[in-house]
Amino acid sequence: MAASTNSQATITDEFATKIKAENTRARITRIAPMLVLFALVLFFSILRGSVFLSIGNLSAILNQLAIPLLIAMGLTFVIMIGCIDLSIDGSVGMAGSLMSLLVLNTKNGNNLGLLGLVLAVLASVLIGAIIGVIYVKLKIPSFMVSFSFMYICMGLAMLSYGGIPATITDTFLVSVPKMNFIGIPIITWVAIAMFCVAYFIQEYTAFGRYIYAVGTDENIPRMAGVDVNRVKILVFAFAGLCFGIAGVLGGIRLGQGQMQIGTGTMFPAQAAVVVGGTALSGGKGGILNTLIGVLIITVLDDGLLLMSVNPYIKTGIQGLIILVAVALTVTRSNKIIMK
Amino acid sequence: MLEESKMEKKLLFRASNITKVFAGTRALKGVDLDIYEGEVVGLIGENGAGKSTLLKIIIGVQPQTQGEMTMFGKPYEPKTPRDANGAGIGMVFQEQSLIVNLTVGQNIFFGQEKKFRKYGFVNWKKMYKDTETALENVSCSHIPARKKVLDLNFATRQMVEIAKVVNLTRSSGHDHCLILLDEPTSVLNETEVQQLFTEIRKLTAQGHSVVFVSHRLDEILAISDRVYVYKDGENAGNMPTADADEAKLYEMMVGHSTTTEYYKLDQQRKPDPEAVLDIKNLGLHGVFKNVSFKLNKGEILGIVGVVGSGKEDICSVICGDEHPTFGEMYVKGEKRTYFSPAQALSDGVLMIPKERMEEGIVSGLSVNENIAMSNVRLLRSGPFLSSKKMVGQSDEWIKRLRIKTAGKDELLARLSGGNQQKVVFARALCSQSDILILNHPTRGVDVGAKEEIYGLIRDMVKQGKSVILLGDTLDECIGMSNRIIVMCDGLVTGEFDAPVEDKPTQVSVVSLMM
Amino acid sequence: MMNSLNLSIARKASIKKNLMHYISFLAIFILVLVFTAMDKSFVNQANLKNLLSDTAPLMVMAAGMTFVILLGSIDLSTGAVCSVANVLVVKYIAEFSDKMENVYIAAALAYLIAVAFGLFAGLIIGVLQAKLKLPSFIASLGLMSVWKSVALLITEAPVSIPKKSWGTIGWSRINFGLIGLPLVLALSLIIFYYILQTKTVFGKSVMAIGGNERAARMAGMNINKTKILAFVLNGFCAALGGIFLAAKLKSSAPTVGDSFTLLVIASVALGGTALLGGKGSLLGTILGVFTVSIIRNGMNIVGVDVFWQNIVFGLVVLCAIAITSDRSGRSLVVK
């Protein structure tokens, strides 16, 4: 018995070292995104230093990151519960289109002003909630439900303006894109405000903790009496909120409401979330991670532009980033089936 | 251990005449359990003796079919674990229930954030203060309340789980609680186990009671005041630990040996001297190590062990599902490393898995399709499959194994457990594999089908196949095998010859399993 | 008792199994009636010819997607692969026919390049899913954006096939009455795939993996090879679809395939193939493809705005998936 007890401790020690190795890997994944961002900034500073680090360029970056940041915030919570939301392009475009038809515009007599903005955002919230409910109640995978809704929202957007986009004529809204506060555009401030709200929700509410729990293992919070379905639906609704706000701001920035406001907004957001360190499996990462991710994607886009790289390459690179980031963080085991 | 006599101690919890029936099998048959305040009660018994089922009933995960429970003398009928918590009972499950990306405090108070809510957001400062009190109550003030569970080692995580459970039950307002610990030491080393014991003694000193379930007999004897032994879903006896010794406990744990006819002992044959499988120093990091044995042609080699012994993982490695981290495997004389069961199958090695529904059958496909899964390649005629061959094969095996089905096109979901198992056997027998690993082959199968399967296994070795058997019960394994290997906590602890005329007793085997 | 419970579950399952087929048949019937009532020209020769010729590329792509979905996976990059193959084939028909005497050989080489790309795209996603264990939806999402970029980099604007090469795409104008050669080829392909599904090791493996991948693995089936082959076949079909479109439209466009992904998934779902895999068949997909085609063509004839199509197909896909999904059995966690 003595000999076996001795070796038995070794098996437990083996197990402990295995866990320690996993923890070290987790720690590396936590700081990796920051290193990547640092490396990128360094890279572009060396190659295009004077232009890249100029005030003009930096403020362009601040401008650029507003909409992706908004979208990525909403998407972060969805990915943290282990799901995904592919409806982004549609939801954003729909909100922007609806908004342009509700405020003072060239197509109809509406003049709902602020209320118009709110209603447009609510439309996206509603879509998000519906996606959540269908996913939860009908048990259809979230990628499929949200993929279908991308098209439904695209259709609704185009339907709303019937092929001819409305131009916004509300004087206040027309002037918003040019408004700054301490040198930072108002639109970016809205994104920063949402970031603070999202961070607050994540860290200072029970709901934020439940998101981590549901993403780690649904059964644990369920056994503790948490309404897991409600958490999931709220996460999708919050995502809808973020997409709606992004759409409305996009419309304001464009001065017009059309479906194209949303086109291509999904890939940068998805790339930002995964490259920031929020794993697809759920339960890890968070809003701060996504902020770094959005910075990485925006700096990369900006840098490539400065280097006169063909703009069509942008989406492709974002796709590659998604693939690499997910490949590095996915758990590989024979017992867990990935489809 | 406290020396107070039972008369002075109050009865905390009582379970009387608990019966649990699952789809035709009786997991528990009229079981009793009494817990007094301030004591540690150890539960022991083999796999399937009913310990886990009883704990699940006590904590409210599933209801009993019959029987009553009382807590503090009042009737106790939990519908959910939260009801149990409210009544003063908490359980630390074998699987970790902590959310690793949250902090210690957030885990301890998970689900109770309402208490700290102000204007919609949570006052973490107050919660961490309460966390520190909760940790103090289990003498764990050294654990930082704001640290992420991810950064703690397993022993500390175990302590956090206990603190969480104690906190939950105490917040129900009761002074003394009942804490159920299910295999708490499986991931702890010796020092950590001792630390756990110290914690448990501190808990009982405060008047709480602990139910301690473990397969390690020495631990049970070290920590508990009284011991309950369960066997085949029934009480086999209970006694103060002071009066117990290992030999007595082993005797109580094992079931009676069944008749020779059941296991068709008359058909047990001597194996050939050539080795078809030679395992040398096989190891899987953190699961098992230093495992070496040979499997001879025509032999039935049984591997026995309790939960966590590593026997199932050895089978996973041999059949190709898992890749070993150390050691060598020789199959029919050739050195082999398998990265998938497909590779193992090409050498003639195949496993019939334990979990029929998850790993054995495709319930959406027909009997015909299921039988053909392992040997599709052999059913070709030209570039395409011959449905004639496939149908012929299914017809033959349905007849030979007496599979009760409406027809070969019937969906497997419709068949009974025993018949589904027969389909899996048919598949294995068609596959032309001659080294078969049978992982709990009679699990969830009725008695009649069991006997047929035993006959089938005897036939298989008669035809020259070799079998590694993980039996559903110790008795079954001893009865069926030519030789038995005993595993405990990842190591081989013993080997027995089991010839027809001199089968080892269950007691002698069990003592090496724990 | 256990058996009667199993029996009623099984009975419900078999009705459900064919439910989607009944619904699709019914839908086709009703749709034809409604569209004809709204605009008689729906059933005239010209339109029927049109409808059937539109169906060919869809059928080709849906054939490949069926295997992927039967496995339990998905390929969202199908449309983008189709686009790349489409621009590749036209680009190289133009380039090679400039450099070579024989326009037919030039075209054949161009076709080969397009097909090779399709196979390559399928191989990549197959390896990503099977070996690197990436979830197929994210792998195909990432690749979708890569291929979209590639298509735009090859050509920004639509390119026409030069007149001298029009003979090489003449095959797409051959008709047998109402039915064009492309549709005949597409039907042959899908029937061949049906034979693959029912009469080859590959087909049996796909059904087993889709039904229970763990069980298929433990039974000794070759999981990786099967998965990769299914994705490669899908890539091949996507490329073929791109070629068909190039021949039909006599030109290429870098976004030509984008709208097809949803339509292809809708076709497979309406054909009775469950999203989670293990159930369905290529014959069903034929039915689904016709249903989708009729909806599309009918809406065009009747004058429904294009944007309604997005809404309609989005809803159709959701309904079809909801109907074919088996919520009773699986206790697994859906994400």
8 Å CB contact between B317 and B324? yes
CB proximity A310 to C under 8 Å: yes
pLDDT at A336 over 80: no
A293: its two tokens: 């991710």
Look at residue C2 in the predicted model and tell me its pLDDT: 45
**Two tokens, residue A178:** 């040019």
Q: Quick check: A206 and B97 CB within 8 A?
A: no
Picking from C131, C212, C226 by the largest number of B CB atoms within 10 A of its own CB, the best residue to mutate is C212
Rounded CA-CA distance A166/A278 in Å is 38
Contact A327 C132 (CB under 8 A): yes
Q: Which residues, at least 6 apart from C116, have a Cβ–Cβ distance to it below 8 Å?
A: none
Measured in angstroms, the CA of A130 and the nearest CA of chain B are apart by 25
Q: Which of C164, C320, B186 is nearest to A138 (CA)?
A: C320
Q: Is C15 on the interface with A (CB under 8 A)?
A: no
Which chains are within 8 Å of B by 3+ CB pairs? A, C
pLDDT at site A318: 92
Nearest Cβ partner for C6 among B24, B414, B431: B414
The answer to whether residue B377 neighbours chain A at the CB level (below 8 Å) is no
- To the nearest whole Å, the CA of C211 is away from the closest chain B CA by 6
Please report residues of A whose CB lies closer than 8 A to that of C148. Answer: 315-316, 319
List the single best residue of A323, A326, A328 to mutate versus C (max C Cβ within 10 A): A323
d(CA B381, CA B208): 71
Distance separating alpha carbons of residues C164 and C144, to the nearest angstrom: 33
Closest chain A residue to the Cα of B81, Cα to Cα: A223
Q: Which residue of C has its CA nearest to B439?
A: C218
d(CA A283, CA B394): 46
What is the pLDDT, as a whole number, of residue C206?
A: 96
**Residue B498 and residue B16: Cα distance in Å, rounded?**
40
Confidence of residue C117 (pLDDT cuts 50, 70, 90): very high
Helix H or strand E segment including A219? helix A219-223
* Interchain pair A225, B80: CB under 8 A: yes
Yes or no, beta carbons of A316 and C322 under 8 Å apart: no
Q: What is the SS3 assignment for B30?
A: strand
Contact B105, B150 (CB under 8 A): no
Long-range pairs, C36-42, Cβ under 8 A, ≥24? C38/C302, C39/C301, C39/C302, C39/C303, C41/C301, C42/C297, C42/C298, C42/C301, C42/C302
Residues of A in contact with C224 (CB under 8 A): none
Calculate mean pLDDT across residues B114-135: 86
C-alpha neighbours within 13 Å on the C-beta side of residue C34: 12
pLDDT value of position A199: 95
Split at pLDDT 50, 70, 90, the class of B1 is: very low
Q: Is there a contact between A322 and A274 (Cβ–Cβ < 8 Å)?
A: yes
**Range with lowest mean pLDDT among B15-19, B354-358, B362-366, B404-408:** B404-408
Average pLDDT, chain B: 87
Contact B373 C214 (CB under 8 A): no
Helices (H), B212-340: 217-223, 246-253, 311-318
The region of weakest confidence among B40-49, B216-225, B476-485, C280-289 is B40-49
**Long-range contacts of residues B84-89, Cβ cutoff 8 Å, at least 24 apart:** B84/B58, B84/B59, B84/B60, B85/B168, B85/B169, B85/B172, B86/B172, B87/B172, B87/B174, B88/B169, B88/B172, B88/B174, B88/B176, B88/B177, B88/B178, B89/B13, B89/B58, B89/B59, B89/B169, B89/B177, B89/B178, B89/B179, B89/B180
C217 touches chain B (CB under 8 A): yes
ipTM associated with this complex:
0.89
**Given this model, what pLDDT does residue A81 score?**
95
- Put simply, whether C133 touches A (Cβ < 8 Å) is yes
Q: Which of A16, A18, A334 sits opposite B153 (nearest CB)?
A: A16
Res. C13 pLDDT band, cuts 50 70 90: low
B376 with C195: Cβ contact below 8 A:
no
Q: Which among C133, C146, C262 has the least Cβ separation from residue A316?
A: C146
Query: pLDDT at residue B144 above 70?
Result: yes
Give the closest-approach CA distance of A223 to chain B in angstroms: 7
User: Does any CB of chain B come closer than 8 Å to the CB of residue C2?
Assistant: yes
Chains with ≥3 Cβ pairs under 8 A against A? Answer: B, C
* Selected residues 414-433 of chain B with any CB under 8 Å from a CB in chain A: none
Least confident of B171-185, B497-511, C13-27, C31-45: C13-27
**Would you call B384 and C6 a contact, using CB atoms and an 8 Å cutoff?**
no
- Decide if pLDDT at A4 tops 50: no
- The letter for the amino acid at C105 is I
pLDDT of residue C16: 62
Find residues 20-79 of chain A whose CB sits inside 8 Å of chain C.
Answer: none
Give me the pLDDT at residue A237, please. Answer: 97
Spatial separation of the C-alpha atoms in residues C147 and C254, rounded to whole Å: 10
Q: What is the 3 state secondary structure string of C232-273?
A: HHHHHHHHHHHHHHHHHHCEECCCCCCCHHHHHHHHHHHCCC
The residue among C147 and B24 whose pLDDT is bigger is: C147
Nearest CA in chain A to C329: A139
pLDDT at A50: 82
Reduce the DSSP state of residue C326 to 3 states and report it.
coil
Instruction: Tell if the CB–CB gap between B431 and C220 is shorter than 8 Å.
Output: yes
Share of chain C above pLDDT 70, in %: 93
A226-235 pLDDT, tens digit each: 899 999 999 9
**Paired tokens of B458:** 């005897």
Mean pLDDT of all residues in C127-142: 94
Q: Kindly state the average pLDDT of the residues C285-308.
A: 90
Query: Which residues contact residue B141 at a Cβ distance below 8 angstroms, ignoring those fewer than 6 apart?
Result: B132, B135
Helix (H, G, I), strand (E, B) or coil at B186: coil
C8 has pLDDT over 80 = no
pLDDT digits (tens, 9 = 90+) for B448-491: 788 888 989 999 999 889 999 998 888 889 889 999 999 988 88
For residue range C163-211, list pLDDT tens digits in order: 888 888 888 888 888 888 999 999 999 999 999 999 999 999 999 999 9
Confidence of residue A3 (pLDDT cuts 50, 70, 90): very low
Pairing state of beta strands B288-296 and B300-304? unpaired
List, for residues A239-283, the tens digit of each pLDDT value.
999 999 999 999 999 998 889 999 999 999 999 999 999 989 888
Whether the per-residue pLDDT at A32 is higher than 70: the answer is: yes
Give chain C positions within 8 Å (CB) of B358: 212, 214-215
Q: Is there a contact between B172 and B85 (Cβ–Cβ < 8 Å)?
A: yes
pLDDT in tens, B302-334: 999 987 788 999 999 999 999 999 899 999 989
CA distances to A90, A146, A285 from A243, rounded to whole Å, are 9, 13, 20
Of A309-313, B327-331, C303-307, give the lowest mean pLDDT range.
C303-307
Q: Check residues A72 and B501 and name the one with the higher pLDDT.
A: A72
When comparing pLDDT for B41 and C164, which is higher?
A: B41
Look at residue B474 in the predicted model and tell me its pLDDT.
85
Nearest CA in chain C to B351: C218
Q: What is the pLDDT of residue B499?
A: 83
- Mind listing the pLDDT tens digit for each residue in B67-105? 999 988 889 899 888 888 888 898 998 877 899 889 999
- E strand map for C97-244: 159-160, 175-176, 179-180
Cβ–Cβ < 8 Å for B464, B39:
no
Q: In what order do the strands lie in the sheet with B300-304?
A: B349-352, B435-439, B466-470, B300-304, B483-488, B491-497
Is C322 near chain A, with CB under 8 Å? yes
Nearest to B413 among C6, C201, C217 (CB): C6
Of B170, B167, B130, the residue nearest B146 (C-alpha): B130
pLDDT-derived band at C5 (thresholds 50, 70, 90) equals low
What are C31-71's pLDDT values in tens digits?
A: 888 888 888 888 888 888 888 889 999 999 999 999 999 99
CA distance B1 to chain A (A): 25
Chain B's closest residue to C4, CA to CA, is B414
For residue B258, the model assigns a pLDDT of 62
For B343, the closest chain C residue by CA position comes to: C220
Tell me, what's the pLDDT at B266?
78
**Which residues partner with B89 through β-bridges?**
B178
Round to whole Å and give the CA distance between B2 and A327. Answer: 57
Q: Look at residue B259 and tell me whether its pLDDT is greater than 90.
A: no
* Contacts C208 to B, Cβ<8 Å: 362, 365, 369, 373
A9 → closest Cβ in B117, B187, B190: B190
User: Residue A101: is its pLDDT beyond 50?
Assistant: yes
Is the per-residue pLDDT at B152 higher than 80? yes
**What type of residue is B23?**
A
Kindly report the nearest CA distance between residue B122 and chain A, in angstroms. Answer: 5
State the CB neighbour count (10 A cutoff) for residue C51.
Answer: 21
- B309: number of Cβ within 10 Å: 25
The dihedral sign for the CA sequence B23, B29, B30, B36: negative
Residue B122 has pLDDT above 70, yes or no: yes
Q: Are C235 and C81 in contact (CB under 8 A)?
A: yes
Question: Which own/partner pairs from A40-45 qualify as long-range (CB within 8 Å, at least 24 positions apart)?
Answer: A40/A296, A40/A299, A40/A300, A40/A303, A41/A299, A43/A303, A44/A299, A44/A302, A44/A303, A44/A306
Look at strands B226-231 and B288-296 and give their pairing: unpaired
Q: What distance in Å separates the CA atoms of residue C194 and residue A4, rounded to the nearest whole number?
A: 58
Q: ∠ CA A123-A126-A127 to the nearest 5 degrees?
A: 90
Is B187's pLDDT higher than 90?
Answer: no
Q: Using a CB-CB distance cutoff of 8 angstroms, which residues of chain A are in contact with residue C131?
A: none
Q: Which of B100, B120, B189 sits opposite A9 (nearest CB)?
A: B189
pTM for this entry: 0.90
CB of C307 within 8 Å of any CB in chain A?
Answer: yes
Summarize pLDDT for A161-194 with one digit per residue, the tens.
888 888 888 888 888 888 888 878 889 999 999 9
Put simply, the chain C residues between 77 and 136 with a CB less than 8 A from any chain B CB are none
Residues 6+ apart with CB under 8 A from A239: A74, A75, A77, A78, A85, A128
Q: In what order do the strands lie in the sheet with B66-71?
A: B25-36, B11-22, B66-71, B74-75
